[in-house]
Structure 1
Amino acid sequence: MSVQVTRDKDTGVAVVTLDRPERLNAIDLETARRLAQVWRDLRFDDTVRAAVLTGSGERAFCTGIDRSAEVAQPSSPYSTEDPLLSIGPKANDLWKPVIAAVRGMACGGAFYLLGEAEFVIAAEDASFFDPHTTYGMVSAYESMYLALRMPHGEAARLALMGTAERMSARRAHEIGFVSEVTAPGGELAAAVRCAETIASFPTEAVQGTVRSVWAAKEATLAQAHSRAPAFVALGNLPPGRQAELFGARRSKEFRMR
């Protein structure tokens, strides 16, 4: 299964793991559906009071949408079909705290998940980037999540530099996007420790706090998201041209090995 869930009833913590390491934990349509179902199911599991989200393997937390996932788009610039809009905990009405544990690459659509986590703990070898502009695509939803989690200039740089530059875990920590940096392999244990502490507190107070913090920014995000379809429709290159740019870059990377 593309998403694994383990529950510890003694601590009240669930660990949700993206489990497609052979695809760098990229999200195909089945994984998107599975993630949404996991978050919605956790709403009804009173033995779970906090969750940790991580990725399988050492190379990547998540590399966004799997390019094999074919999604037909409406012709209207006011509508979009984006399966990643429903993969986050907040999008699925889950108000239990979620902590992200990141190792390796986190890029593109990974920000839909990181943007809806309470906070992020990253290994020293984690890196963050957004490839959209490199391949002729608008970074719309991704950059909106980033703009709520880091200073404007940092969000703009990360979104605009595409694959040419990666933000290190240390830099992400300096600007407040990452709350803690650990040795490689220590990020999950650190996130679980935080989750266990939070899960030991009264549930109503914890969930009310999660909801309060999110309320401070959800109106801004909803307004921004309402404009994203037009930005994408106006700015994206045709899919064929995007594929050419992607293929050319992959060929270049292969020759450089």
Structure 2
Amino acid sequence: MSIRVEHDKESGVAVVTLDRAAKHNALTLDMARGLGSVWRGFRYEDDVRAIVVTGAGGRAFCTGIDRADAGNVPQPSSPYTIDDPLLTIGPKANDLWKPVIAAVEGMACGGAFYLLGEAEFLIAGEGAEFFDPHTTYGMVSAFETVHMAQRMPFGEVARMALMGSAERISARRAYETGLVSEVTAAGGALAAARRAAAVIASHPTEAVQGTVRALWSTREAARAQALAHAPHLVTLGNLPADRQAGLFTARTKGHRTR
């Protein structure tokens, strides 16, 4: 399944690692289903009181869905609905209200934002980079931008989505815009996230989960309304799969980091 779960019962902290480093931790359909199972399972594990989610290898947190797998998802003909395998990869989509901290090293792009958008806060290593390549490949960035619009100023989300693969946001710039709460030396994000999670896990769990639920209630209505528009925007705006593939194959590797 390429997902690794470790649980330190003494601290009450679990670490969920996307363990597909050779593929930049791109998500297979199996991994997408597995993440949902992991989050739902944590609801019944009382000794798990805080969670860290990260990616293996240091080169990427996650680069979204594996394109080879994405082509195996049949889609309904209606423009008002879509079968998106990433919709339920986050903790909140699985009714988990235990705090989740994301530890980001290397690239975080595209579908990674489904996960990052449902974490309580992000800690990033100095070399982390955030970008959204959808428009470059003829795809609508809908779900991703909705998630990031809850965390970043409108203009920053708009620039990231519209610039596509031509521009990346550095960890420092992500910190300046509020996407990231702490920047560590490269390779230090996981340790910092574990430390923060251990502190949170040491507090009374009822108070912690109630606070998480209260925080998310402040944005639920707007988020749900925005996400409701996403399916038909994607189906109406995406290029056909063969044209997307052509753009992906012809992509250039140059980009600017700011």
Short-chain TM bin? over 0.9
Deviation at 1:54, TM superposition (A): 0.3
* CA offset digits 1:40-59 (Å, max 9, x no partner): 00110011000000000011
Structure 2 unaligned residues grouped into runs of 5+: none
Q: Secondary structure at the match of 1:211?
A: helix
Deviation, structure 1 residue 107: 0.1
| Match in the other structure for 2:30 | 30
Larger proportion of helix: 1
Alignment match, 2:149? 147
Task: Tell me, in whole angstroms, the C-alpha distance in 1 between the residues paired with 2:100 and 2:253.
Answer: 35
Alignment partner, residue 123 of structure 2: 121
Amino acid at match of 1:154: E
Q: How many residues align?
A: 252
- Note the 1:151-162 alignment, pairs <5 A: 151-162=153-164
The question of 1:65 aligning with 2:68 is answered no
**1:200 maps to 2:234:** no
1-structure distance, mates of 2:30, 2:61: 18
- Deviation of the 1:73 alpha carbon: 1.3
How many angstroms does 1:127 deviate by? 0.1
- Alignment partner of 1:82 out of 78, 81, 84: 84
Q: Secondary structure at the match of 1:36?
A: helix
The equivalent residue for 1:213 is 215
Deviation at 1:197, TM superposition (A): 0.2
TM-score norm. by structure 2 comes to 0.96
**Per-residue deviation at 1:253?**
4.1
RMSD: 1.0
| SS of alignment partner, residue 225 of structure 2 | helix
Counterpart code for 2:13: V
- The correspondence of residues 160-199 of structure 1 with structure 2, limited to 5 A, is 160-199=162-201
In 2: Cα distance, 1:204 partner to 1:253 partner:
48
- Runs of 4+ more than 2 Å apart: none
CA separation in 1, counterparts of 2:83 and 2:61?
24
TM-fit CA distance, 1:218:
1.4
- Give how far 1:119 is off: 0.1
1: CA distance between counterparts of 2:153 and 2:173? 12
TM-score (norm 1): 0.97
Residue 54 of structure 1 corresponds to 54
Aligned equivalents of 1:75, 1:189: Cα separation in 2? 46
Query: What CA distance in whole angstroms lies between the structure 1 residues aligned with 2:223 and 2:65?
Result: 21
Find the counterpart in structure 1 of residue 106 from structure 2.
104
State the distance in 1 between where 2:144 and 2:181 align: 19
- TM-fit CA distance, 1:60: 0.2
